[in-house]
Structure 1
Amino acid sequence: MTPYVVTASWLAEHLGDAALVIADCRFDLMDTTRGQQEYAQGHIPGAYYLDLEQDLSSPRQQHGGRHPLPDPEKFAARLNQMGVTPETLVVAYDDSRFAYAARCWWLLRWLGHDRVAVLDGGYRAYVEAGYPVTNVIPPPRQGNFKPHPHPEWVVDRAAVIAAQADPQTVIVDAREPRRYRGEIEPIDPIAGHIPGAVNYPWQAIADEHGRLKSVAELQAYWQPLADAQQIIVYCGSGVTACVDILGLAIAGLHQTKLYAGSWSDWCSYLVAPDNRSL
């Protein structure tokens, strides 16, 4: 499909390739042990498990959002345990329409590893196609991944505030419309969105089965943003925003930056330590 996506059939044909590493990124924000349990019950052969909060994030602080970016060296050490080298193609999958696989995809590229893709349709598509699964945990491998971060791909709250006055910048809120409009807020203490942000829900990148829309469909979806010099994307905590960035990249738009702290960081400055609104 694109350099950023592989199909279940392609993955099944390449299981066991020495230059392939598979990352199972299944997770559930409301039950943080579920992904690990599902991985233990069955996963794609050879896949290693990457936990959103243990591997793909660093510990939460007062500010910085619910899922701060992982420490590059710590994350690199984990990738090395999986056998990642500069020649490795990493394929990430989940069962949540890329919600967590796209975070892994973005992190690897942020750290300078471009050979990374997501599995179209995720674990569900692979299983429904009848390909093999296993509960065998693969042994550690020896990699030599060295992180080379792109700090320019990330913005903080101050940069977002500055960008609000820039007519060449578009701020994209990737959350579902009801959260964007402030009608509901199931996680963070304050509902609403960053002033000036436009809403492009991350769920629109794929269909209800978790299969990515076509390149032409994604190009049409993102056409209103094509002329922007900078596109800052955020969500609740910098996770599903990466799905929008994936969709933008497939459409050929690479002028993106991630507000890593996202809404959870933004509103942390608007509440007292006991979560009362200021």
Structure 2
Amino acid sequence: MTYIRSVNWVQGQLNSIRMVDFRFYLQHSDKGRLEYEEGHIPGAIHIDLEKDMSGAVGQTGGRHPLPNMKDFLNVIQEAGIQNNDIIVAYDNQNGAMASRFVWMMMYMGHKEVYILDGGFRAWEEKGSGLTTEIPVNNRSSYKAVYQSSMIADQDYVAQHIYNDDTIILDSRSYERFAGINEPIDQKAGHIPSAVNAEWTKVMNQAGRWKSKEELRSHFLQFGKPKEWIVYCGSGVTASPNVLALYEAGFNQVRLYVGSWSDWITNDKNPIDRSVSS
């Protein structure tokens, strides 16, 4: 199964699919919503990373913890999304944000949810047309069936360090992984035994997703485990790696939602700053 959809595919299906605008900028939390209001793909609704898809930041859980899932379910129902809808999400950050939404819907058991290859920029470049009209939808009775095997928490990660059947994948930049530069979190380094695969590596130079074969080759350099655990700083930019692993044909993949910003809240958790030569 592919989780990527082209602009051409979306153009041909636009009247029968649900579009979700997930533009969001970590340093400018209102910018994505403002851009949506200035122009978006016809029919698209806007969902916000921090207001709709993240819980309150606490002592643990990381910078973008999962929301109360009843609250998020209410967001989906208010948007009028139905269980049998075909959903395509997009952003303007090469899938960094929209992938989190796609993962969340998969976690809720949604069957057909995809990401727009190239995102909003690709749509604009194609001259496909924008609108400022904000759709009004009737509330749905969406039912979620949560997929617990898709998620990892701090304890689960700690139990799988140095597990021969598990690869822990760090999606941050090499500088953050190696502890050379940590501009966001209070502690530098990475989870012991983790390997570094910056999430941007699943894209080509044009900002499009690499092919299934390219993605599979990319991940196989680390091994072929029974299970992958993927993390980043706060569980957002790890999501493109999760989708890319699925795209490459790997089925047992867990997102550590709290990620590094959760891991470092527990002083008992080991931190590694060494890197392989």
TM bracket (short chain): over 0.9
Partner of 1:237: 234
Pick the aligned partner of 2:54 from 39, 54, 57: 57
Pick the aligned partner of 2:150 from 150, 153, 156: 153
Cα distance, 1:175 vs structure 2? 0.6
C-alpha offsets along residues 58-105 of structure 1, whole Å, 9 cap, x if unaligned? Answer: 111110000011222211211122221121011110011111111011
Farther off after superposition, 8-17 or 123-132 = 8-17
Partner of 2:29: 32
Cα distance, 1:144 vs structure 2? 2.4
Cα distance, 1:9 vs structure 2? 1.5
Change (3 A) 1:164 1:204: same
C-alpha offsets along residues 101-151 of structure 1, whole Å, 9 cap, x if unaligned? Answer: 110110000010021000000000000000010111111333221111112
Partner of 1:274: none
Residues of 2 paired with 1:225 and 1:182: CA distance? 20
Farther off after superposition, 248-257 or 161-170 = 161-170
Q: Match of 2:21, as an amino acid?
A: D
State yes or no: 1:9 paired with 2:12: no
Pick the aligned partner of 1:21 from 18, 24, 35: 18
Cα distance, 1:269 vs structure 2? 2.2
Cα distance, 1:226 vs structure 2? 5.4
Pick the aligned partner of 1:67 from 60, 64, 73: 64
SS of 1:158's equivalent in the other structure is helix
State yes or no: 1:105 paired with 2:102: yes
Indicate if the aligned counterparts of 2:172 and 2:233 stay in contact, CA closer than 8 A. Answer: yes
Cα distance, 1:152 vs structure 2? 2.4
Q: Match of 2:28, as an amino acid?
A: D
SS of 1:172's equivalent in the other structure is strand
Residues of 2 paired with 1:58 and 1:207: CA distance? 33
Partner of 1:267: 264
C-alpha offsets along residues 166-213 of structure 1, whole Å, 9 cap, x if unaligned? Answer: 111111101111111111112111111111110011001112432101
Cα distance, 1:224 vs structure 2? 3.2
SS of 2:254's equivalent in the other structure is strand
Q: Match of 2:9, as an amino acid?
A: W
Structure 1 unaligned runs (5+)? 272-278
- Please give the TM-score of this superposition, normalised by the length of structure 2: 0.93
Identity %: 39
Indicate if the aligned counterparts of 2:162 and 2:193 stay in contact, CA closer than 8 A. Answer: no
Residues of 1 paired with 2:257 and 2:45: CA distance? 25
Partner of 2:123: 126
CA RMSD of aligned residues (A): 1.5
Partner of 1:275: none
State yes or no: 1:174 paired with 2:184: no
SS of 1:131's equivalent in the other structure is coil
Q: Match of 1:4, as an amino acid?
A: Y
Structure 2 unaligned runs (5+)? 269-277
Pick the aligned partner of 1:251 from 248, 252, 272: 248
Residues of 1 paired with 2:144 and 2:67: CA distance? 12
Indicate if the aligned counterparts of 1:72 and 1:147 stay in contact, CA closer than 8 A. Answer: no
- Please give the TM-score of this superposition, normalised by the length of structure 1: 0.92
Cα distance, 1:3 vs structure 2? 3.0
Residues of 2 paired with 1:253 and 1:265: CA distance? 25
Cα distance, 1:27 vs structure 2? 0.6
State yes or no: 1:141 paired with 2:138: yes
Q: Match of 2:245, as an amino acid?
A: L
Residues of 2 paired with 1:103 and 1:118: CA distance? 10
Partner of 2:196: 199
Indicate if the aligned counterparts of 1:21 and 1:83 stay in contact, CA closer than 8 A. Answer: no
Indicate if the aligned counterparts of 1:4 and 1:116 stay in contact, CA closer than 8 A. Answer: yes
Indicate if the aligned counterparts of 1:92 and 1:104 stay in contact, CA closer than 8 A. Answer: yes
Query: Paired residues, what number?
Result: 268
Q: Match of 1:218, as an amino acid?
A: L
Q: Match of 1:42, as an amino acid?
A: G
